[in-house]
Copies of this chain bind each other. A is one copy, B any other.
């Protein structure tokens, strides 16, 4: 068994039906600084036998097992019972837990469904919940650790940060495993891999992962950082990526644009046709974006392009809405209408309908209006409507980023 191997078990029948399980990356991120990497993730329905079987298997393979969910007060919350069955342990009613619950909720007597939440595995330590009634618990046994955590993110995240983190680090004392995420745009996944290969060869002990998004590539570098290898590999990769690197960690393209504009004391506005508000949405996702974003026009009709942005009727008639000329007049019009330093525009065929001879679905024209003039360009995107729109919004934000100082 490998040192630093953890497993995650998520419970909830909804995870096997319509609901996405969002937790593996979140747990991986919290485990890395403690020297742990996830070796497997399992999703189980709300069944005692199923959860018990998953816990048993995971404890055979791994020194640290985290179970998330199934600690609530209702009939389908079975994680405590399942863990007890898996380990052949009793559940013990904790008077301390009962006292804390009664105090926190101003109750003289606990209702029956609260009592279930005061059951601890023999020898386990309770973990207090600052956002709910379900206690977590952590059990050390034979050099291994089993932790039970409540399912809602707003409950397990503070519990992990405030209590479990120190339990794990004091029990195992592993060298930290660091992770650095570099984010690049305007290049293909295969091109990114080729560019970064020299760095990957220089650091064979680290793990490298490439994740492609719509017009973006994330590059994850992770591994034992006790000698600073992750930081040195990241420095090498930054150099290789050059201008394609737009940020690190959770920085978005829109945030990278905002940083540059804020530093220069400049503002931007936009005029969107095929992206239909998506670029403005990505910009206004950023808290404080009103400092540098003045607004946008979603000109989904020709009348709106003419009335709000001053696109000429002759331009629309002669070249059509999806054209270099219309893109140029849209960007210039947005810059004028909002009184911004910069403005960008998008106009294209998002699909699946709307293609005409010479203008296939996926074709998008862009313009960037700057104090020095207007730059116009086009791209042909592949995929469905969502891919075309996501790719177009990222493309224009990246081109804007590149012309900003």
Q: Which of B25, B53, B61, B300 contacts A18 (CB 8 A)?
A: B25
> With the chains together, A43 CA to B9 CA distance in Å?
10
- The reply to whether B301 and A295 form a contact with Cβ atoms under 8 Å apart is yes
Of A33-41, A109-117, A120-128, A163-171, the stretch lying at the interface with chain B is A33-41
- The reply to whether B18 and A285 form a contact with Cβ atoms under 8 Å apart is no
| Any B CB within 8 A of the CB of A19 | yes
- The reply to whether B294 and A295 form a contact with Cβ atoms under 8 Å apart is no
**Copies of this protein in the complex:** 2
| Any B CB within 8 A of the CB of A385 | yes
Given A278-B277, A280-B276, A338-B301, is A285 in contact with B386 using a C-beta cutoff of 8 Å?
yes
- The reply to whether A283 and B290 form a contact with Cβ atoms under 8 Å apart is no
Chain A positions 1-40 with a Cβ under 8 Å from a chain B Cβ: 13-22, 24-25, 28-29, 37-40
Chain A positions 275-315 with a Cβ under 8 Å from a chain B Cβ: 275-281, 283-285, 287-290, 293-301, 303-304, 307-308
- The reply to whether A209 and B13 form a contact with Cβ atoms under 8 Å apart is yes
Q: Which of B16, B289, B301, B339 contacts A303 (CB 8 A)?
A: B339
> With the chains together, A350 CA to B294 CA distance in Å?
16
> With the chains together, A222 CA to B13 CA distance in Å?
12
| Any B CB within 8 A of the CB of A50 | yes
| Any B CB within 8 A of the CB of A132 | no
- The reply to whether A211 and B19 form a contact with Cβ atoms under 8 Å apart is yes
> With the chains together, A333 CA to B66 CA distance in Å?
54
- What residues of chain B lie closer than 8 Å to A17, measured between beta carbons? 25, 28, 37-38, 179, 207, 209, 220, 222
Distance from A342 Cβ to chain B, minimum over Cβ atoms (Å) = 14
- What residues of chain B lie closer than 8 Å to A20, measured between beta carbons? 20, 22, 24-25
Q: Top 3 nearest A-B pairs by Cβ distance?
A: A276-B284, A277-B280, A277-B277
Residues on A facing B (Cβ under 8 Å): 13-22, 24-25, 28-29, 37-45, 50, 53-54, 57, 61, 179, 181, 207, 209, 211, 218, 220, 222, 269-270, 272, 275-281, 283-285, 287-290, 293-301, 303-304, 307-308, 337-339, 350-353, 385-386, 389
